[in-house]
Structure 1
Amino acid sequence: MHYAASRTNAEILYQHGADLFAKDKFGRTPLHTASKYGYPDVVQFLLSEGAAVNEPAKSGHTALLYILYCNSDEESYFLSKGAPPAENYELELAKILLDHRADINVAPPDGETVLHGAARLDDAELIRYLVEHGANLQAVDANGKTPLHNAACHANIEIVRYLINQGADTHAVTTAGQTTVHYACLAPLNLRLPSTSQGKTILEFIDEDEKWNWNAEGLVKANFTVLQ
């Protein structure tokens, strides 16, 4: 049943005695697997037949958390077994699971809720849906990070603005004493830089000369202009 990548396959297996509650060595049920690899029709079928929506795997992840935490090595394994590649169905899966009363604020031992995970993605629609359905904006993980910390670190500007407008605490501090501003400074810069006739940008010149810092501070000290 863990390998069923379509509703039809899942139904056939179930009719022939497949166990909806069977667990693999990681404590994952078929519902966890279907959620993790993005098969909403299978998730819908399993839930309609009584699969436990809030049961955690050994890692502490529930089906709702698995929609955002995909292991590429395991995905390759499933594809090698003939499973078709899944599209990005995070929002659709979230709607199905929450309609079946998934706990939106559940967290594994690392403390990361589904909103923490979603804040790393450029999916404002998913973030809005989660917040509108009760996701805790102030939830902190084991390191004291809030979803806003994650969004700031990954340069999700639209999501950062939305979370702040919804009341996310901009003064929240991690266990290391870092605010969301600290995390915003860790976000990768998306610089559009001029180049020479040889096609070299200023970053390449800086990289050739080790005395320069090729971060934002280094560019400012060197008096180079960054195009907006």
Structure 2
Amino acid sequence: MAVISGETQLVRNILLSHPDVDFNVLVKGATVLSLSLYKRHFDIFGLLMRHSEKSRKLKLNICSKDHLNRIEPPIITACRMHFLEGVVALVNAGADLDAVDNNGHTALWVASRQQMPDLVEYLISNGASVNKTDRFNYTPLLTALTYRVSSIITKTLILHGSNLEGPKVSIMAQQTPLFWAAKSKNIEIVRLILCAGLPTSEIKSVHRALLMDGELDTQILTLLNSEYQRPPLLRQICRRVVRNTVSESCKGKDFIKHINALPLPVIMKQYLTLR
């Protein structure tokens, strides 16, 4: 009740007088940590996090249910609220960056979908996976492109090794990042995806799907047509294979760090990281 009503001093007194109380118990489907976020009592959230540093008993990844029946861990709640300080506090305390809600969404998915470039950058730099898929097999990148979010976010996800070949369970061209980048007429992202590398067959498939979908952006269609009709250079094939292999082996985490750890000349690492 003290958390719900926002009585900061009362919460502080409880923490001091009952340091061993179990704060992980669900009350109406939510922990006190999640309740402090739902009610936007960020000062109480801070108290609980500082208490957690000392006691090490607060479980940071327990999913709670809010009034809209969203079932999610605190890091996703903080991210959805664009509460950067809260996300940082949770990450520093050891919260799982890839914890998911009841739809399989991660904090990075939420930050990408809600156009929060600062959180996208922060989560990736701290080890969040760019390849974690939700229950519909969508990565943060594919979701960002279907909702036509900022190019800054989609570019960041691509540069950090996001899967470019669409869900493995689907063979539809309409379920690929290239299709959605082309459909939204974002030629900058189309070029970046082509630079990172795709099989010629997939480029051709996307080109055909765009024509069938009635998309007539001449510049993009011409670019795709020239790409699949011209055999890729050996170095381009190597870049695609190496990027895909590294991304899969590191599960989409710390991609650039893993590329830079390869025993290769600097100029080759720059080529692999699209610099």
Same fold (TM over 0.5): yes
1:66 positional shift: 1.6
Q: How does 1:67-106 map to 2 (within 5 A)?
A: 67-69=78-80, 89-106=82-99
Name the residue aligned to 2:34: 32
| Gap change, CA 1:188 and 1:2, over 3 Å in 2 | farther
The TM-score, its normalising length taken from structure 2, stands at: 0.54
Greater shift in the superposed pair: 30-39 or 149-158:
30-39
Alignment partners' CA distance in 1, 2:10 and 2:143: 38
Deviations 1:112-156 (A, max 9, x none): 111111101222111110001110011111111001012212322
Name the residue aligned to 1:165: 159
Matched-pair contact (CA < 8 Å) for 2:3–2:44: no
Name the residue aligned to 2:136: 143
Alignment partners' CA distance in 1, 2:5 and 2:43: 11
1:19 positional shift: 6.5
Name the residue aligned to 2:4: 3
Q: Per the alignment, in what secondary structure is the counterpart of residue 141 of structure 1?
A: coil
Q: Per the alignment, in what secondary structure is the counterpart of residue 93 of structure 1?
A: helix
Alignment partners' CA distance in 2, 1:147 and 1:109: 16
Is 1:156 equivalent to 2:163 in the alignment?
Answer: no
Name the residue aligned to 1:63: 74
**Paired amino acid for 1:20:** F
Instruction: Supply the RMSD in Å over aligned alpha carbons.
Output: 3.4
Is 1:179 equivalent to 2:176 in the alignment?
Answer: yes
1:61 positional shift: 1.7
Name the residue aligned to 1:23: 26
1:185 positional shift: 6.3
Higher helix proportion (structure 1 or 2): 2
Matched-pair contact (CA < 8 Å) for 1:54–1:63: yes
Deviations 1:25-79 (A, max 9, x none): 2x2111012234444432221122233212223665211122244xxxxxxxxxx
| Gap change, CA 1:105 and 1:185, over 3 Å in 2 | same
1:174 positional shift: 6.7
Aligned residues: 176
Alignment partners' CA distance in 2, 1:186 and 1:4: 48
1:13 positional shift: 5.4
Gaps of 5+ in 1: 70-87, 190-215, 221-228
Alignment partners' CA distance in 2, 1:188 and 1:46: 46
Gaps of 5+ in 2: 53-57, 187-212, 218-275
